[in-house]
Amino acid sequence: MGRNRIETVVSMRTMRWIAIASMSLAACWRGAAPAESPPPEPAPVRVAATPARAQEAGAPGDAEAASLVEEADKAFERVDLAAAEALYKRAIAYPNAPVAGYARYKLAWVYFNNNHMQEALELFVQVARRSGAPTLAKAAGDDAARVYANVGRPQLARPFFERLDPDRVDRRLGLLADAYDMDGKPAEAAIVRAQLTP
């Protein structure tokens, strides 16, 4: 099998994996059970989940932030990442709005799709640490593990994830090791698996 064929297969598997994770998070937002099986075809870009509708609350700016997020989600679905980025950033300007954490989370996915991995990791970590929504915080932490494979050092993974969330270290290390395996980096995956609690 040629190098290009291997890269295509790995890329398709990665996109399929991201699509499955996105479907599971979307199901959690709607209160349904996570997806059990993969979609029939992988998505053309890596896509994060979208809630059924953006929340609207009574505080000044909440409705504006919700509207911006709704428009940003539409741009993201159209793969207009520049428009989605601008709209999510405008929504984040309302830090107390109920959708602010979600806007940060989706902005991280925009950065991820634009191959700005460091920025994506930083935003996933922010959401994981500060989100008042446990499902969103958990998803952001898990996604941080996947993005860490692109920018972090495998030897430093355990301390990184202990600082992020001490209760989910082994879960995140497992996700990281899987990400390294999917990227064709078995040596890095082995280094990470060696850090799992026995």
105-118 pLDDT, tens digit each: 999 999 999 999 99
From residue 112, give the alpha-carbon distance in Å to each of 87, 96, 141. Answer: 16, 25, 14
3-state DSSP call for residue 124? helix
Does a structural domain hold residue 7? yes
Q: Is 10 within the bounds of a domain? A: yes
Task: Tell me: pLDDT of 172 over 60.
Answer: yes
What is the pLDDT, as a whole number, of residue 53? 35
Give the total number of structural domains in the chain.
1
Q: Is residue 36 in some structural domain?
A: yes
pLDDT value of position 52: 32
- pLDDT > 90 fraction of the chain, expressed in percent and rounded: 65
On whether residue 117 sits in a domain, the answer given is no
53 is a domain residue: no
Q: Identify whether 28 is part of a domain.
A: yes
The candidate with the shortest Cα–Cα distance to 106, out of 42, 3, 83, is 83
* Structural domain boundaries, residue 9: 1-42
Q: Answer whether residue 192 is part of any domain.
A: no
Placement of tokens 């990400």 in the chain? 179
Question: What's the whole-number mean pLDDT along residues 61-70?
Answer: 93
Q: Which residues contact 142 (CB under 8 A, 6 or more apart)?
A: 21, 171, 172, 175
Q: What is the mean pLDDT of the chain?
A: 78
> Could you tell me the pTM of the whole model?
0.70
- For the stretch 4-49, pLDDT in tens is 333 333 343 444 444 444 444 444 443 444 444 333 333 334 444 4
- C-alpha to C-alpha distance for 74 and 84, rounded to whole angstroms: 8
Domain assignment present for 29: yes
For residue 149, pLDDT over 90 is answered with yes
